[in-house]
Amino acid sequence: MPRTAPEVHADLVLEPRDVTFDWSGLPLHWIPDEPLATHTINVLHLLLPEGERWFIKVFKDALPLITDEQLREEVLGFIGQESIHAEAHQEVLDHLLAQGLDPRPYVRQIAWLFQRVLGEKPKLGPRQRRENIIERVAFVAAIEHFTAFLGNWALNSPGLDRAEADPTMLDLLRWHGAEEVEHRSVAFDLMTHLDPGYLRRVRGMAVSGPLLVHLWVRGVRFLLAADPTLDGRLVPTWREALDISRRGLLPEPMASLRSGLRYLRRGYHPTQEGSSAQALSYLASSPAARAAAR
Ligand SMILES: [Fe+2]
Ligand SMILES: [Fe+2]
């Protein structure tokens, strides 16, 4: 199997960190006085539990196709980390519900999308089933490019500290972001192991990129409308989102777009994005990860 950055893979051992967070003191607008920034980031909690459970299903389906022992170990480590991520974000959803913001109508749509539309197709022959698994792995690889981008942003977002965002939520975002940076190459390496073709990569991004933008915009609108303290008065605009991103509370839209385009470069490999050393350094100091290690 071709390895673009063998030095990174030689000792990539992915350890699931069994973290817990106490949400009892989390304010509804956990970035004070910034409901739009708060809810734009909150879309993560809407998408990730179902999305990451879907990643796990896809990767479990792909396990019998893997012929590289090191990659198999990385995939198993990835599955372990993503299952804890899904649980952690699910607990935030439960907290939102307890605060009077009911996320369930949107989450039901996400569940339908991942389980029905992007789920395993019934009654496929062995060749079609293999093809379907590889296609879904390519979707995961493209989405994992963005989770690593967002994770890298979360690790380098002093604007959130300046805005006095809730420290427990910041730790969730940065612990998760650090693990996304740590395991950023696994889905891509699995895809190229199963199909090294460039077209597979392009198709994965052509579907996943626009889908993510669509789900994010819908998610922000949904959360603002469902927020009981806003009475539907806050209607988001791109101009406002740009202003918030310039203040460092959200990734800049153009930076996100450029990142998506980098994925299409011929010589791209996820290890060119973000820093494993920075991710591991955060994980060594994260309150939740340190408590899990004790
Ligand atoms: Fe994750
Ligand atoms: Fe991930």
Q: What average pLDDT does the structure give for the chain? A: 94
How far away, in angstroms, is 77 Cα from ligand 2 center? 11
Q: What are 83-86's contacts with CB under 8 Å, separation 24+?
A: 83/16, 83/52, 83/53, 83/56, 84/16, 84/17, 84/18, 84/19, 85/48, 85/52, 85/176, 85/179, 86/48, 86/49, 86/50, 86/52, 86/53, 86/56
What's the pLDDT score for residue 10? 59
How far away, in angstroms, is 4 Cα from ligand 1 center? 23
How far away, in angstroms, is 86 Cα from ligand 1 center? 7
Nearest alpha carbon to residue 1 among 74, 70, 79:
70
Residue pair 280/17 in contact by the 8 Å Cβ criterion: no
What's the pLDDT score for residue 2? 40
Nearest alpha carbon to residue 215 among 120, 287, 111:
111
State both tokens at 67. 């012929």
pLDDT tens-place string over residues 69-85: 999 999 999 999 999 99
Q: Inform me whether the pLDDT recorded for 117 exceeds 90.
A: no
How far away, in angstroms, is 125 Cα from ligand 1 center? 31
Q: Which letter does DSSP use for residue 270 in this model?
A: G
Q: Inform me whether the pLDDT recorded for 4 exceeds 80.
A: no
- Distance, CA of 186 to CA of 191 (rounded, Å): 9
Q: How sure is the predictor about 9, in pLDDT bands with cuts at 50, 70 and 90?
A: low
How remote is the C-alpha of 77 from its chain's centroid?
16
How far away, in angstroms, is 180 Cα from ligand 2 center? 5
What's the pLDDT score for residue 11? 65
Nearest ligand, CA of residue 14?
2
How far away, in angstroms, is 176 Cα from ligand 2 center? 8
How far away, in angstroms, is 231 Cα from ligand 1 center? 32
What's the pLDDT score for residue 288? 96
Q: Inform me whether the pLDDT recorded for 5 exceeds 50.
A: no
What's the pLDDT score for residue 1? 37
How far away, in angstroms, is 33 Cα from ligand 2 center? 30
How far away, in angstroms, is 179 Cα from ligand 2 center? 7
Q: Inform me whether the pLDDT recorded for 6 exceeds 70.
A: no
pLDDT tens-place string over residues 120-141: 888 899 999 999 999 999 999 9
How remote is the C-alpha of 222 from its chain's centroid?
19
Mean pLDDT across 142-147 = 97
How far away, in angstroms, is 67 Cα from ligand 2 center? 22
Q: Inform me whether the pLDDT recorded for 20 exceeds 90.
A: yes
What's the pLDDT score for residue 151? 98
How far away, in angstroms, is 176 Cα from ligand 1 center? 6
How far away, in angstroms, is 197 Cα from ligand 1 center? 26
Mean pLDDT across 181-188 = 97
How far away, in angstroms, is 187 Cα from ligand 1 center? 12
Nearest alpha carbon to residue 187 among 174, 200, 172:
200
Q: 3-state SS string over 173-190?
A: HHHHHHHHHHCCCHHHHH
Q: What are 125-133's contacts with CB under 8 Å, separation 24+?
A: 130/65, 133/58, 133/61, 133/62, 133/65, 133/194
Nearest ligand, CA of residue 183?
2
Q: Inform me whether the pLDDT recorded for 36 exceeds 80.
A: yes
Nearest ligand, CA of residue 190?
2
Nearest alpha carbon to residue 86 among 62, 63, 114:
114
How far away, in angstroms, is 257 Cα from ligand 2 center? 19
- Distance, CA of 10 to CA of 173 (rounded, Å): 27
pLDDT tens-place string over residues 201-241: 999 999 999 999 999 999 999 999 999 999 888 888 889 99
Mean pLDDT across 16-21 = 94
How far away, in angstroms, is 209 Cα from ligand 1 center? 17
pLDDT tens-place string over residues 243-278: 999 999 999 999 999 999 999 999 999 999 999 999
How far away, in angstroms, is 152 Cα from ligand 1 center? 13
- Distance, CA of 250 to CA of 70 (rounded, Å): 36
Query: Exposure of 183 by Cβ count < 10 A (0-12 exposed, 13-18 middle, 19+ buried)?
Result: buried
11 versus 119: the higher-pLDDT residue is 119
What's the pLDDT score for residue 187? 98
Nearest ligand, CA of residue 173?
1
